[in-house]
Amino acid sequence: MSLLVPCPTCGDRPFTEFAFGGELRDVSSPDTASDFARVYLRENTASAQEERWFHLLGCRRWVTVRRDTTANRFER
Amino acid sequence: MATLRLDGRRIEVQDGDTIGAAAFRAGVRTFSRSLKSHRRRGLYCGTGDCANCLVTVDGMPGARACVTEARDGMRVTRETGWPSADRDTLAIMDRMHWATPVGFYYKVFSRPRWLWPLAERVIRRATGTGTLPPTEHVTATPTRFLRVDTLVIGGGVAGLAAAAAATGRVAVAEGGSIGAAAIDPEARAAIDRLAVQARVAGVEILERHAAIGIYEGPSVPLLGPDELVEVEASRVIVATGAIEAHGVFPGNDLPGIWLGRGAARVAAAGVKIGDRAIVVANTDAGERIGAALRAAGAHVTVVTGRVLEARGRTQVSSVTVLTPQGRRAYACDALVLSLGWAPRDSLLRMSPDPEVVGAGEVVLPGCSLTAAEDSGRAAARGESVEARLAEPWPVLEHEGYVCVCEDVRVHDLEAAWEEGWTSSEILKRYTTATMGPCQAALCSRHLAAFTQEKGAVPGATGRTTARPPLRAPRLEELIGGVHEQAERRTALHERHHALGARMDHSGLWLRPGTYGEFREEIRAVRQRVSVMDVSTLGKFLVGGRDARALLDWTFPLDVASVAPGRARYLLALDEAGYVMDDGLLAALRDGTFFLTSTSGGADRMEAWLRNWIDRLDLHAHLVNQTAQLGAINVAGPHARDLLAALSGDDLSREAIPYPGHGEIEVAGVPCRALAVGFVGELSYELHHPRGRSVELWDALLDAGRRWDIRPHGLDALDVLRLEKGHVYLAQDTMPDDHPTKLGLDWAVAMRKPDFVGKRALERMAQLPLERSLVGLRFDGSPQRGHPLTVDGAIVGRITSCTESEAVGGSIGLGWVRAVDGVFPAQLRAGELTATVVPTPFYDPGGERLRA
């Protein structure tokens, strides 16, 4: 039902206050050919991964956090 | 004397009675009829674990009579049986087991097909528990959030000991009242002592709060009498205790057969459960139970052994037990079972989290009070108590009801096994055993025992998965807060109402659709002057050393080309190069930037910009001024005249160029005037402090009377922008539109070294353009959404269309696919002809904007 996201400003808050920003990816690609993979192809890791969360209904800050996708737990 | 009505009959209620106790004292033995066979079912567990005594209380079905406190004036009805639970004509079903074999819903009533709707209706009437009240107004139960370090579920000896010993913020959730389930004085004393300790330690004790599941987190929803508490706990200690194991033997579901603790509990309330009670006990609880029954006036015989059979017609009248001395038959009117312990471990099995641990009887079934207390303290210290298997493992006689809720007999399991359903999970689904309202409280271990005995392959013999909710919550208990409709109003909301506007929902905003006659509003814009409340636009201030770098990266616009005092159309692309939003960028004279987004895109725009500030580690600040600023667009040939009547500031094109902006005062209100033109006339978007919107609006309407001013709403705007060929994002666009498809290449500075989406645009530029948004003229009035065809083949659709007075005729926008690499110049829209024309339709040179 609920999952607490660690926000550096607000502490642990329910995930419903956040917008999920997906896996952490590079901000740009060195060339056009590799850009497709950067934009469209996800790692879809079945373990800990770095991901982005935006505290929309809170401090409006983006955070990069590590979450285990199989256990659905954040590393703190 | 307090009384309640049971099926219309008035019965007496004594102090501290449950509904079950009061009804039993008044002679009620049959509390319900079973699901399939309509067999009589009486009080059995007495502890709220089974579903035999589900009754409707004051119109609300699903209350467990054995644990629901009786109150004066309550109206209680039994839920099953017609005409009554005592005399049920459908009891004939008990002689028709051939008609409802195991898995019968897969086998019978399937042919002829047309008969099924009828059969379904009959079956639905014959089964089920209770009828929901016809509620028109549902009052949502409030939801409360609770954050604790430790949540203890269960307020018995182990639970309270754990709570008292745990550190940090601690809460205890107890489904009933603390101590109500304790029968013997020793347990009662321990609970009283520990409850005091817990209270002194500052533990929050939530009585009548039942945990209905454990979700990830761990997070536990508690159903309280008038609230739903969502608990976020760092640790959960499950101390839900144990009940006596359900006994499976022929006649095991007869009224008059009880589980030990429940019987003792009812007896403790002063109810004599029978004149001659036989207690079959293989646990050390036999004498304690016997003593409780004797105290209530029953003649009790306690024996040890295996129950072979119980007989009786409307209730149990005799029992055969295989005692160590041999087979013995006893006449009785109450049979009390304490055959072994069954932990109430559903919650524990629901969560794989290491933060969820058990304490007390749920892990040590049948343990002593001291052991329960010790295990509670150990759990509080963070030690996990090794679960001891509940012994003995259930023994199934050749016949008897395994699942009382769903009428599943040993025979049914055998039949299903023969049919090839040879694992506990599959047997569960096929026979529906464990799937009734008690949610496997009684029979979960029996099903596992059956598969083990049958020799199922390893891995197929386990207990079936426990899932929330453990109890059926009412919908109103779950919807707390969900039904509230968020709504945003601009500062001018009351003004729009006063002017008779029809308010439309636009995202979360309420915006005027029209003030009466939208064609008149259009004429006011095109010929005279008009105002529109555009406070809903997303409004942002961007500053800091890297402000320009941020904007240059985030948007395809060449920010360097926007000189201070100027403004430009702004397109926002996502990383896939698709159009995400649009707005305006104004370069302020102090080096900061002001930008607007669409009304619905404001939150996304903020998140988008903040993401890039963060990812690129830029020294840039963003202030979301959407709620802080109001905005009124003043548009029409007399727009400048109107402002001049209210402002002493320079309004010339030197001071406020097109497209550009200036800081002016209008009717004493400081405004940032953006000279831009979504509607295609001379116009000024006046951004001002929201608190002064009303006075500005009033002044504009008052001074505008000279030009017969009229405000315009969304209906007029839709036509005005369409005459200019401007797209409405989402209405005219699709999620995968890059600027070329929309004819917006001019808004993209590909010469910039890099920006979000540039690589994607380069990649897509190598692909042929397969569709394009085009301007259309029609020889009639089509419907929006109408397909566009060439030689009968659909090649597109109309996304926007209107009758335009200003242009003269019927115009629109639409998607067109290339046919053999060529975009058609003429199409059909049903009976109409659609001709592709360049946009804008109105004032293509934009002279009116620059005026």
Question: Predicted confidence band at A2 (pLDDT cuts at 50, 70, 90)?
Answer: low
Which of B59, B92, B126 is a domain's end point? B126
| B518 shares its domain with B635 | yes
Are the CB atoms for B356 and B348 separated by under 8 Å? yes
Residue in B216, B576, B762 closest to A32 by CB: B762
The tens digit of pLDDT for each residue in B495-513 reads 999 999 999 998 889 999 9
> For residue B483, is pLDDT > 70?
no
CATH code for the domain of B617: 3.30.70.1400
The tens digit of pLDDT for each residue in B747-764 reads 999 999 999 999 999 999
Cβ–Cβ contact B760 with A under 8 A: yes
The tens digit of pLDDT for each residue in B511-528 reads 999 999 999 999 999 999
Whether the upstream peptide bond of residue B101 has omega within 30° of 0, thus cis, is: no
Cβ–Cβ contact B12 with A under 8 A: no
| B374 shares its domain with B348 | yes
Residue in A35, A54, A60 closest to B760 by CB: A35
Size of interface A-B (CB pairs under 8 A): 60
Q: How far is CA A13 from CA A53, A65, B378, B480, B603, in A?
A: 12, 13, 29, 19, 19
Question: Predicted confidence band at B269 (pLDDT cuts at 50, 70, 90)?
Answer: confident
CATH code for the domain of B209: 3.50.50.60
In a domain, B191, yes or no: yes
Question: Lowest-confidence range among B169-183, B380-394, B574-588?
Answer: B380-394
Cβ–Cβ contact B230 with A under 8 A: yes
Q: Which of A39, A56, A57, A70 to mutate to test the interface with B (most CBs of B within 10 A)?
A: A39
B11: Cβ contacts below 8 Å, ≥ 6 apart: B3, B4, B5, B22, B23, B25, B26
Tokens in use for B430? 């096929």
> For residue B94, is pLDDT > 90?
no
- d(C-alpha B122, C-alpha B106), whole Å: 17
* Total residues found in chain B within this entry: 851
Q: Per CATH, is A4-28+38-74 categorized as 3.30.2130.10?
A: no
Scanning B337-492, the segments in alpha helix (DSSP H) are 346-350, 369-380, 410-418, 424-431, 444-454, 475-478
Beta strands in B209-305 (DSSP E): 210-211, 219-223, 228-238, 242-244, 257-259, 276-281, 299-303
DSSP output for B572-632: EE-TTS-EEEEEEEEE-TTS-EEEEE-STTHHHHHHHHHHHHHHTT---EEEE-TTTEEEE
| B154 shares its domain with B238 | yes
Among residues B711, B638, B637, which one has the least CA distance to residue B681?
A: B637
Shortest CA distance from A19: residue in chain B: B607
The count of domains in chain B is: 7
Chain A residues in contact with B575 by the CB 8 A cut-off are 38-39
Which of B97, B126, B155 is a domain's end point? B126
In a domain, B503, yes or no: yes
ipTM of predicted complex: 0.96
- Mean pLDDT, to the nearest integer, of B245-254? 94
Cβ–Cβ contact B217 with A under 8 A: yes
Among residues B152, B11, B147, which one has the least CA distance to residue B74?
A: B11
Among residues B177, B181, B175, B180, which one has the least CA distance to residue B209?
A: B175
CATH code for the domain of B8: 3.10.20.440
Shortest CA distance from A31: residue in chain B: B759
Chain A residues in contact with B576 by the CB 8 A cut-off are 39-40
Tokens in use for B549? 């770098």
> For residue B848, is pLDDT > 50?
yes
Shortest CA distance from B577: residue in chain A: A39
Q: What percent of chain B has pLDDT over 70?
A: 99
Determine whether the interchain pair A39/B576 forms a contact, defined as Cβ–Cβ distance below 8 Å.
Answer: yes
Read off the amino acid at residue B173. Answer: A
Q: Which of A18, A20, A32 to mutate to test the interface with B (most CBs of B within 10 A)?
A: A32
| B87 shares its domain with B180 | no
| B842 shares its domain with B706 | no
- d(C-alpha A3, C-alpha B232), whole Å: 9
Phi, psi (rounded to 5 degrees) for B14: -95, 160
Q: Give the closest-approach CA distance of B559 to chain A in angstroms.
A: 20
Largest Cα separation within chain B, whole Å, is 114
Q: Provide the pLDDT for residue B131.
A: 82
Are the CB atoms for B495 and B502 separated by under 8 Å? no
Read off the amino acid at residue B752. Answer: K
Cβ–Cβ contact B107 with A under 8 A: no
Other C-beta atoms within 10 Å of B785: how many? 11
Q: What does the mean pLDDT of chain B come to? A: 92
SS3 state of residue B324: coil
**Residues paired with B660 in a beta bridge:** B566, B675
The angle that helices B260-268 and B286-295 make with each other, rounded to 10 degrees, is: 30
Domain that holds residue B445: 401-472
Q: Which of A1, A31, A74 to mutate to test the interface with B (most CBs of B within 10 A)?
A: A1
In a domain, B391, yes or no: no
- d(C-alpha B744, C-alpha B755), whole Å: 16
Determine whether the interchain pair A2/B216 forms a contact, defined as Cβ–Cβ distance below 8 Å.
Answer: yes
Are the CB atoms for B367 and B166 separated by under 8 Å? no
How many Cα atoms are found within 13 Å in the side-chain-facing hemisphere of B13? Answer: 22
> For residue B124, is pLDDT > 90?
no
| B521 shares its domain with B558 | no
| B8 shares its domain with B95 | yes
Q: Which of B148, B151, B214, B232 to mutate to test the interface with A (most CBs of A within 10 A)?
A: B232
Chain A residues in contact with B611 by the CB 8 A cut-off are 21, 52, 54, 62
Determine whether the interchain pair B759/A62 forms a contact, defined as Cβ–Cβ distance below 8 Å.
Answer: no
The tens digit of pLDDT for each residue in B398-426 reads 899 999 999 999 999 999 999 999 999 99
Shortest CA distance from B469: residue in chain A: A1
In a domain, B395, yes or no: no
Phi-psi group of B345: left, alpha or beta (phi > 0 → left; psi -120 to 50 → alpha; rest → beta): alpha
Cβ–Cβ contact B146 with A under 8 A: no
The tens digit of pLDDT for each residue in A45-59 reads 999 999 999 999 999
In a domain, B131, yes or no: no
Tokens in use for A29? 């690609």
> For residue B325, is pLDDT > 50?
yes
Question: Predicted confidence band at A1 (pLDDT cuts at 50, 70, 90)?
Answer: very low
| B309 shares its domain with B321 | yes
Specify the pairing of strand B538-543 against strand B530-533.
Answer: unpaired
Determine whether the interchain pair A32/B759 forms a contact, defined as Cβ–Cβ distance below 8 Å.
Answer: yes
- d(C-alpha B588, C-alpha B834), whole Å: 44
> For residue A8, is pLDDT > 70?
yes
Question: Lowest-confidence range among B108-117, B230-239, B276-285, B462-471?
Answer: B108-117
The tens digit of pLDDT for each residue in B622-643 reads 999 999 999 999 999 999 999 9
Q: What share of chain A is helix, strand, coil (3-state, %, to 5)?
A: 15, 40, 45
Shortest CA distance from B766: residue in chain A: A32
Question: Predicted confidence band at B389 (pLDDT cuts at 50, 70, 90)?
Answer: low
Q: How far is CA B85 from CA B17, B23, B48, B53, B312, in A?
A: 22, 13, 20, 11, 17
- d(C-alpha B426, C-alpha B641), whole Å: 80
- d(C-alpha B481, C-alpha B515), whole Å: 34
Cβ–Cβ contact B607 with A under 8 A: yes
SS3 state of residue B124: helix
Chain A residues in contact with B230 by the CB 8 A cut-off are 1-2
B154: Cβ contacts below 8 Å, ≥ 6 apart: B172, B173, B174, B175, B238, B239, B240, B241, B360, B362
Tokens in use for A44? 């879809």
In a domain, B589, yes or no: yes
> For residue B539, is pLDDT > 90?
yes
**Chain A residues 14-73 with a CB less than 8 Å from chain B:** 14, 19, 21, 27-29, 31-32, 35-36, 38-40, 52, 54, 56, 60-62, 72
How many Cα atoms are found within 13 Å in the side-chain-facing hemisphere of B591? Answer: 8
DSSP output for B340-384: -EEE--HHHHH---TTEEE-GGGTSTT--HHHHHHHHHHHHTTPP
> For residue B120, is pLDDT > 60?
yes
| B368 shares its domain with B408 | no
Phi, psi (rounded to 5 degrees) for B56: -95, 125
Phi-psi group of B462: left, alpha or beta (phi > 0 → left; psi -120 to 50 → alpha; rest → beta): beta
Largest Cα separation within chain A, whole Å, is 42
The side-by-side arrangement of strands in the sheet containing A62-68 is A19-23, A48-54, A62-68, A73-74
- d(C-alpha B287, C-alpha B18), whole Å: 24
Q: Which among A40-44, B79-83, B229-233, B613-617 has the top mean pLDDT?
A: B613-617
Chain A residues in contact with B755 by the CB 8 A cut-off are none
| B237 shares its domain with B256 | no
SS3 state of residue B650: coil
| B82 shares its domain with B188 | no
| B652 shares its domain with B714 | yes
Scanning the structure block, which residue is given the tokens 């002593």?
Answer: B368
Determine whether the interchain pair B217/A2 forms a contact, defined as Cβ–Cβ distance below 8 Å.
Answer: yes
Are the CB atoms for A61 and A8 separated by under 8 Å? yes
> For residue B347, is pLDDT > 70?
yes
Chain A residues in contact with B219 by the CB 8 A cut-off are 1-3
Tokens in use for A9? 């400003």
Q: Give the closest-approach CA distance of A22 to chain B in angstroms.
A: 12
Read off the amino acid at residue B795. Answer: V
Which of B624, B659, B690 is a domain's end point? B624
> For residue B279, is pLDDT > 60?
yes
Shortest CA distance from A57: residue in chain B: B603
Q: Give the closest-approach CA distance of B140 to chain A in angstroms.
A: 19
Residue in A2, A27, A36 closest to B232 by CB: A2
- d(C-alpha B309, C-alpha B328), whole Å: 11
Cβ–Cβ contact B484 with A under 8 A: no
Chain B residues in contact with A56 by the CB 8 A cut-off are 603, 607
Determine whether the interchain pair B215/A2 forms a contact, defined as Cβ–Cβ distance below 8 Å.
Answer: yes
CATH code for the domain of B637: 3.30.1360.120
Domain ranges of chain A: 4-28+38-74
Phi-psi group of B725: left, alpha or beta (phi > 0 → left; psi -120 to 50 → alpha; rest → beta): left
- d(C-alpha B176, C-alpha B168), whole Å: 25
Q: Which long-range contacts (CB under 8 A, 24 or more apart) does B670-675 make?
A: B671/B696, B672/B586, B672/B594, B673/B643, B674/B567, B674/B584, B674/B586, B674/B596, B675/B567
Tokens in use for B727? 């797209």
Cβ–Cβ contact B705 with A under 8 A: no
Q: How far apart are the first and last CA of chain B?
A: 90
- Mean pLDDT, to the nearest integer, of B571-575? 95
Are the CB atoms for B265 and B181 separated by under 8 Å? yes
Q: What percent of chain B has pLDDT over 90?
A: 76
Determine whether the interchain pair A1/B215 forms a contact, defined as Cβ–Cβ distance below 8 Å.
Answer: yes
Tokens in use for B495? 């003004």
Residue B388 CA from chain centroid, whole number: 37
The tens digit of pLDDT for each residue in B763-781 reads 999 999 989 999 999 999 9
